[in-house]
Amino acid sequence: MHIEPGIVHGAKMALAYATAAGGATVAAKMALDTIRESGVASLAVRSGLATVATFVFFELLPHFPVGVSEVHFILGSTLLLMLGAAPAAIGLALGLLIQGMFFAPTDLPMYFVNLTTLLVPLLAISALAKKVIAPGTRYLDLSYVQALKLSTAFQGGVVAWVAFWAFYGQGFGAETMTSVLAFGGAYMMVVLIEPLADLAVLAAAKSLRGLKGSGLVNPRVYNAA
């Protein structure tokens, strides 16, 4: 989902700064809610875990250029379910920054573009989860269909933002259109994989009962809201 350097540039970058700031503001409010619910230490630990996971998604899992961007297996709904919205948002932001600073410095000028592309879909599925998952349901008990809805929304949001930045930065030319369609088609395969990852991680959590109440995972994993 990395937008290539130069796709958005000049005065148009102002929109990226604004959208990233908006997403960060919402995430900060969620972080305060998490602190009130679970404490600072839990937020810090879960954010650290999300940062490590994000780095793994970017650097260690398979990724390849397609069209206007790159396809990465960024398991946003897995981070949301296991760690919570605020830690997931912090982890995505820090993981993306670390990757840019130490492994792909050419991506740094596009940091706020790419941050928006990740944060806004994550915040959207955080709201969607409240509609898709009944209040009395532990995340351990999610079905594949519920996980698929969250995954489709997250990955679809990523593709939509990549397409927006491409058209916003480069216009609606035939070459840009072809590149966006190629990227979107390739990225949808992640939709099929992510729900399986969600359920696999949740299944593993069932056997790790010691995590309940530890502050290392989202309390909703084990407790019905």
126, pLDDT greater than 90: yes
What kind and span of H or E run contains 149? helix 144-170
Tell me which of 17-21, 84-88, 182-186 is least confident: 182-186
Task: Give the pLDDT of residue 96.
Answer: 93
Instruction: Kindly report, residue by residue over 71-103, the tens digit of the pLDDT.
Output: 788 888 889 999 999 999 999 999 999 998 998
- Interatomic CA distance for residues 47 and 53, integer angstroms: 10
Q: Is a pLDDT exceeding 70 seen at residue 225?
A: no
Q: Tokens in use for 174?
A: 């035939």
Does residue 46 have a pLDDT over 70?
Answer: yes
Reported as a single tens digit per residue, the pLDDT across 196-213 is: 877 788 788 777 776 776
C-alpha 100/C-alpha 205 separation (Å) is 31
Which residues have a Cβ under 8 Å from the Cβ of 189 and sit 6 or more positions away? 71
Residue 64: count of CB within 10 angstroms of its CB: 8
- Cα 120–chain centre separation: 8
3-state DSSP call for residue 69?
strand
Q: What are the structural domains of the chain?
A: 10-221 (1.10.1760.20)
pLDDT at residue 129 is higher than 90: yes
Q: Percent of the chain having pLDDT more than 90?
A: 48
129 exposure class (CB count in 10 Å sphere: 0-12, 13-18, 19+): buried
Least confidently predicted of 14-28, 46-60, 110-124, 197-211: 197-211
pLDDT at 1 over 80: no
In this predicted structure, which of 36-50, 62-76, 95-109 has the lowest mean pLDDT? 62-76
- Residues 124 and 129: their CA atoms lie apart, in Å, by 9
Residue-level pLDDT at 144: 83
- Contact in structure between 42 and 34 (CB atoms under 8 Å): yes
Query: For the residues 157-168, what does the mean pLDDT come to?
Result: 93
What's the mean per-residue pLDDT of the chain?
Answer: 89
Query: What's the token pair of residue 11?
Result: 């005065």
Calpha distance 157→123 (Å, rounded): 10
% pLDDT > 70, the chain = 98
With CA atoms as reference, report the closest residue to 44 among 81, 90, 96, 92.
90
Instruction: Please report the pLDDT score of residue 73 as a whole number.
Output: 82
Q: Residue 117: how many CB atoms within 10 A of its CB? A: 29
The pTM (predicted TM-score) of the whole model is 0.91
Predicted local distance difference test score (pLDDT) of residue 34: 95
